[in-house]
Amino acid sequence: MMDFLKKIYPDADRLLVEVSAAMLDTDRNRGLREDIVRRFMAQLLTDDERARLFGLPASCRVRENTKILQAEKLKCGEHVWIGENAYLDASGGLSIGDHSTIGVGVYVWTHTSVLANLLHENRPGGAHVVRRPTHIGAGCYIVGHSVINPGVRIGDGAVVLPMSCVSDDVPAGDIVAGAPAKSVGSVTEAFVARLKEELRRQRDEPGTDA
């Protein structure tokens, strides 16, 4: 490994000494470091292999650079897709229903440390962290770079449009957008029919793969 590092960075020995000197051998850091190494090595896996590493169902896919905090507390359904750079905090309890998409760069939270900051008690160990379970229903489509705040319940078939910040519950079949996210429409039969017709025209175009 060192021979390889020296090929791409001739001063690797010095850098390794500096990094080693900064390391603190504590129980907390050993646990954190294991997670860091696991996520680093996970970049070598495919999306279905990465889902398997996180303990998700075989039908799920997880893209690169996704972090799942306390994955053992995530209840994930079948055929869930999680995009690049997503952050899923399951520490307070997180559930995701079948056939839902968590888009690129989406942050889903189940805890807040605001109390620790307000009390000037922002110390390692999380003694003042408030945890709230978050639920994402089946068939949901959460578009990239949105934030789902702790304790939110998103109903089945809901759509969260890009760059939204969801702080309140979202009813089933609702379409929300904005920060804070507000309802801007509904997933109706007509809405689905328009998408199906668009897909049909797309497939009928010459040179378009089915």
pTM above 0.75, yes or no: yes
Query: What does the block give as tokens for 37?
Result: 């190494």
**Residues in Cβ contact with 159 at an 8 Å cutoff, skipping those fewer than 6 apart:** 140, 141, 142, 143, 174, 175, 176, 187
Please state, in angstroms and rounded to a whole number, the distance separating the CA atoms of residues 161 and 150: 18
% of residues, the chain, pLDDT over 90: 77
Q: What is the pLDDT of residues 99-141, one digit of tens each?
A: 999 999 999 999 999 999 999 999 888 899 999 999 999 999 9
Distances (CA, A) of 34 to 30, 124, 151: 6, 17, 28
Averaged confidence pLDDT in the chain? 93
- Note the pLDDT of residue 207: 65
- Note the pLDDT of residue 208: 56
The single-letter DSSP state of residue 71 is G
User: What is the arithmetic mean of pLDDT over 8-26?
Assistant: 87
Q: Is the dihedral of CA 112, 118, 119, 123 positive or negative?
A: positive
Number of Cβ within 10 Å of residue 134's Cβ equals 25
**Residues in Cβ contact with 98 at an 8 Å cutoff, skipping those fewer than 6 apart:** 77, 78, 79, 80, 138, 139
Report residue 4's pLDDT band, with 50, 70 and 90 as the boundaries. confident
Please state, in angstroms and rounded to a whole number, the distance separating the CA atoms of residues 131 and 118: 16
> Where on the phi/psi map is residue 139: left (φ > 0), alpha (ψ -120 to 50), or beta?
left
Q: Is the peptide bond before 180 cis (omega within 30 degrees of 0)?
A: yes
Q: What is the pLDDT of residues 131-178, one digit of tens each?
A: 999 999 999 999 999 999 999 999 999 999 999 999 999 999 999 999
Contact between 111 and 89 under an 8 Å Cβ cutoff? The reply is: yes
% of residues, the chain, pLDDT over 70: 97
Please state, in angstroms and rounded to a whole number, the distance separating the CA atoms of residues 91 and 115: 17
User: What is the arithmetic mean of pLDDT over 190-195?
Assistant: 96
- Which carries the bigger pLDDT value, residue 5 or residue 192? 192
- Note the pLDDT of residue 147: 98
Q: What is the pLDDT of residues 47-96, one digit of tens each?
A: 999 999 999 999 999 999 999 999 999 999 999 999 999 999 999 999 99
| Cα angle: 173, vertex 176, 87; to 5 degrees | 100
User: What is the arithmetic mean of pLDDT over 12-34?
Assistant: 88
Do β-strands 74-76 and 101-102 pair in parallel, antiparallel, or remain unpaired?
unpaired
Do β-strands 111-112 and 130-131 pair in parallel, antiparallel, or remain unpaired?
antiparallel
